[in-house]
């Protein structure tokens, strides 16, 4: 299956929090979108890996993504080395996305910055013809593939975006997907330990960040992204 957009997240729920409304909008516009989680989030204070597996599947169904996979890297301990890069390369070559979205370049959780660099490096390496990969136990060698664009969504830290996407009309779908992770986010009846993302303030921040970014472009809601290299446009009018 060829995808238009492949979204990587270090943990289940990263993709939804960072780019959930953008994914929902692209899917509504007919694009094929997939998610690859690097870990099962097994070190999370709340919930379990099995609970988060089920929550991720529910969130994927809500968003309408075409596929969701989990590479089962070690939460907190994966590194940017050849074995991990090759696993990312296999996913990129398997789905051949034009665009890759991945973790924030810099963030509070150490896995986010690591995940950002790992995916970015692997996307470049995926285009090299002398790197041989197979996938899913198949016998055929994969063809090289390099995404045209790699963008980083914004997470805990309020990074200055290089561009924003107008996602007005898609925030409710994003919030519904986020709330599929009942073990992780605000629940006044939960007896689980409190974490930085389990507060009502954090859940509210998803809305007010989207509104603040949208304020800058005169819309209702927006999501921000960072880039590592120049983005080319055909005409000035391509920049809204």
How many residues are given for the chain? 240
Question: Measured between alpha carbons, how far is 157 from 106 in angstroms, rounded to an integer?
Answer: 8
Q: What is the pLDDT of residue 71?
A: 98
- Is-contact 57 64, C-beta < 8 A? no
Assigned architecture for domain 5-238 = 3-Layer(aba) Sandwich (3.40)
Q: What is the pLDDT of residue 42?
A: 97
Q: How far is CA 14 from the centre of its chain?
A: 6
Supply the DSSP symbol for 192: S
Distances (CA, A) of 81 to 34, 72, 87, 94, 136: 24, 15, 10, 20, 21
Q: What is the pLDDT of residue 240?
A: 72
Supply the DSSP symbol for 194: P
Q: What is the pLDDT of residue 169?
A: 98
Q: What is the pLDDT of residue 209?
A: 97
Q: What is the pLDDT of residue 60?
A: 98
Q: What is the pLDDT of residue 201?
A: 96
For the chain, the distance separating the N- and C-terminal CA atoms, rounded to the nearest angstrom, is 31
* SS3 at position 151: strand
H or E segment at 70?
strand 67-73
Question: Measured between alpha carbons, how far is 14 from 148 in angstroms, rounded to an integer?
Answer: 22
The domain spans of the chain are: 5-238
Q: What is the pLDDT of residue 234?
A: 87
CB within 8 A of 220, min separation 6: which ones?
168, 169, 171, 211, 214
- Residues 5-18: tens digit of each pLDDT: 999 999 999 999 99
Residues lower than pLDDT 70 in the chain = none
């Amino acid at each position: 299956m060829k995808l238009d957009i492949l979204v990587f997240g270090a943990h289940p729920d990263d993709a939804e929090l960072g780019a959930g409304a953008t994914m929902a909008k692209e899917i509504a516009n007919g694009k094929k979108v997939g998610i690859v989680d690097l870990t099962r989030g097994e070190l999370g204070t709340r919930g379990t890996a099995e609970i988060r597996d089920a929550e991720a599947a529910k969130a994927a169904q809500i968003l309408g993504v075409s596929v969701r996979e989990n590479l089962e890297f070690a939460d907190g301990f994966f590194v940017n080395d050849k074995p991990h890069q090759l696993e990312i390369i296999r996913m990129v070559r398997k789905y051949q996305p034009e665009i890759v979205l991945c973790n924030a370049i810099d963030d509070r959780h150490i896995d986010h910055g690591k995940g950002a660099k790992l995916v970015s490096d692997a996307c470049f390496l995926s285009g090299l013809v002398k790197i041989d990969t197979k996938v899913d136990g198949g016998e055929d060698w994969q063809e090289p593939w390099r995404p045209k664009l790699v963008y980083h969504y914004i997470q805990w830290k309020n990074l200055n975006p290089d561009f924003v996407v107008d996602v007005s009309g898609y925030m409710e779908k994003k919030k519904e997907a986020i709330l599929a992770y009942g073990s992780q986010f605000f629940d006044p009846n939960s007896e689980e330990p409190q974490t930085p993302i389990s507060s009502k303030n954090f859940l509210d921040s998803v809305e007010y960040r989207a509104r603040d970014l949208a304020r800058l472009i005169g819309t209702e809601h927006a999501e921000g992204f960072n880039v590592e290299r120049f983005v080319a446009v055909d005409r000035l009018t391509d920049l809204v």
